[in-house]
Amino acid sequence: MLIAATLAGCTRKHAPLSGGLGDNSKDGNLLGGVMIPLVVRSVDISAAGEQRGVFFKLSRVPTGVMSSTDSNPARVLIEVDGPSTGEDLPVETYPGADQLVTQIEMSRTNGRLHLVLELSTDEPPPHHVTQMADYVVVSFGTR
């Protein structure tokens, strides 16, 4: 359902986190024999009815994804592990441009991406954080 909304053009796309590299390798993790750092290439927010999805396109397949939440205001905190390569990247903030997701913060420390979704509510609504190859997807309004 969310994918249908994405294909229908009901998305909001954000600029990638600075420091990204092009991926021209066959295995997606090496570029000219150099390990590709983990970065966010783009962020898409799509909505279909009461459902909403935030899609983080990564530069490579991560080695692990963990998530937690915080309240007052509600936030979804996501840690995405990758190789300890590339420079640390300071926090960059993007407007969510959405009724639920008001702001997105991204940074990288020691190869780990830190993604924070600031929400317009006091408590985080039901959601799932899923890794699908080189995407991390946060689905809201799902059971």
What pLDDT score was predicted for residue 143? 55
| CA–CA distances in Å: residue 107 to residues 16, 18, 32, 40, 125 | 11, 9, 25, 9, 24
Q: Could you report the per-residue pLDDT of 49-88, keeping only the tens digit for each?
A: 878 999 999 999 999 999 999 999 999 999 999 888 888 9
The mean pLDDT value for 97-114 works out to 92
For 93, the domain range is 2-140
Q: What angle do CA 3, 136, 110 make, to 5 degrees?
A: 160
- Residue 86's CB: how many other CB atoms inside 10 A? 20
Q: Write the CATH number for 108.
A: 2.60.40.3500
Rounded distance between C-alpha atoms, residue 133 and residue 121, angstroms: 30
Considering its fold, how many domains does the chain have in total? 1
